[in-house]
């Protein structure tokens, strides 16, 4: 049994980790930390987990207890993993970080977007970007995995087949994405209030979202050149889900785009390319570690439209983290992740 610790277990990604790991046949949560909720039982904060964690309580992070586990998940705000990851790795415990701390390979670029100096630039060289559909082999032997962000997961999976095949104009890519309110986290914010977000849709961070450099980094690696991307995120009145509508110019109309996407993802357990003419819905991935994709060439023109949906808390965060855990420890990739989506 793999012994698991979770640092920062009171937010939505933390409780989603708990939910998914409760169903995992080969992993057991031994430690969960929260400075603000020290001593509180998980079951008291999250009654949906009463049967799964009747005795587990939140504790203050302690290096000795954390490193007694095989792996530590960080479900924390950015900047927290910087201070602990190095010592945990030195003790021989592996780290899976759900925050943005190790996603960008350039420490200066990270500092620019996150408003503080990077606290562990010496670890960036060994951090593996945890998008299994791209980096599966590197994840297998990784000590430190950076779980991709929610928007970057949906956008990259949607555009990668076109870019890897070299058929898209990489300088004019557009990503128009809509996210549920849980993407803003569990903290109290005016914009997340029901009266503010209900019956309302709005764009935000149009001039530059923190996920933009992460998306561009991944797509640029695939293209072997710097890409041009316009990324516009939107907030929509739902709890979970991301719908990414992606636009790319593909001049060659002889390419069978449906076959291209099906071939790229034919062996991927958690990417579903829908039949031609069927478009993905966010409810079809609710609670599931799945990305559903459709590709269309409207009026047989040069502009290709890709639609990609994920649950931002599962394939966009905690589910992908568990998927990485499975790969790192040589387990079946769908261990603990085989649940179907919830409809309605």
Give the catalytic positions in this structure: 150
User: How far is the C-alpha of 7 from the C-alpha of 76, rounded, in Å?
Assistant: 7
What is the per-residue DSSP string for 2-45? EEEEEES-SSHHHHHHHHHHHT-TTEEEEEEE-STTTT-BHHHH
Among candidate residues 339, 269, 316, 322, the one with its CA nearest the CA of residue 27 = 322
* Strands 242-249 vs 303-310: parallel, antiparallel or unpaired: antiparallel
Residue 253 buriedness (CB in 10 A; 0-12 / 13-18 / 19+): exposed
Angstrom distances, CA of residue 340 to CA of 164, 283, 290, 343? 30, 11, 9, 9
β-pairing, 303-310 with 291-296? Answer: antiparallel
Residue 315 to residue 311: CA distance in whole angstroms: 6
Query: Rounded to whole angstroms, how far apart are CA atoms 10 and 14?
Result: 6
User: With contact defined as beta carbons under 8 Å apart, do 28 and 2 qualify?
Assistant: yes
Six-digit token string for 183: 């993407």
What CA–CA distance (Å, rounded) separates 171 from 227?
Answer: 5
Phi, psi of 47, deg, nearest 5:
-65, -15
Read off φ and ψ for residue 243, nearest 5 degrees.
Answer: -120, 115
């Amino acid at each position: 049994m793999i012994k698991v610790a979770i640092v920062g277990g009171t937010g939505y990604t933390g409780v989603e980790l708990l939910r998914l790991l409760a169903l995992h046949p080969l992993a057991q949560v031994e430690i969960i930390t929260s400075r603000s909720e020290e001593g509180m039982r998980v079951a008291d904060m999250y009654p949906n987990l009463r049967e799964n964690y009747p005795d587990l309580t939140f504790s203050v992070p302690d290096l000795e207890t954390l490193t007694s586990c095989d792996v530590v998940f960080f479900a924390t705000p950015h900047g927290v993993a910087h201070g602990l990851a190095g010592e945990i790795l030195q003790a021989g415990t592996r780290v899976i970080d759900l925050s943005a701390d190790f996603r960008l390979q350039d420490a200066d670029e990270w500092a620019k977007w996150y408003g503080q100096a990077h606290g562990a630039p010496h670890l960036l060289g060994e951090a593996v970007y945890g998008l299994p559909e791209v980096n599966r082999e590197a994840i297998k032997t990784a000590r430190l995995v950076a779980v991709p962000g929610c928007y970057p997961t949906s956008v990259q999976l949607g555009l990668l087949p076109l870019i890897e095949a070299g058929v898209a104009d990489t300088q004019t890519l557009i990503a128009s994405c809509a996210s549920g309110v849980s993407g803003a986290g569990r903290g109290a914010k005016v914009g997340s209030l029901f009266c503010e977000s209900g019956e309302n849709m709005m764009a935000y961070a149009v001039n530059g979202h923190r996920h933009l450099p992460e998306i561009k980094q991944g797509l640029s690696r695939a293209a072997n050149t710097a890409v041009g991307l316009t990324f516009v995120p939107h907030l929509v009145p739902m709890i979970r889900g991301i719908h990414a509508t992606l636009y790319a110019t593909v001049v060659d109309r002889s390419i069978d785009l449906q076959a291209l996407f099906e071939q790229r993802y034919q062996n991927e357990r958690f990417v579903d390319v829908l039949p031609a003419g069927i478009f993905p819905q966010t409810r079809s991935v609710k609670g599931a570690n799945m990305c559903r994709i459709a590709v269309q060439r409207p009026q047989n023109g040069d502009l290709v439209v890709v639609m990609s949906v994920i649950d931002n808390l599962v394939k966009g965060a905690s589910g992908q983290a568990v998927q990485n855990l499975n790969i790192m420890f040589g387990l079946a990739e769908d261990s603990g992740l085989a649940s179907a989506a919830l409809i309605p």
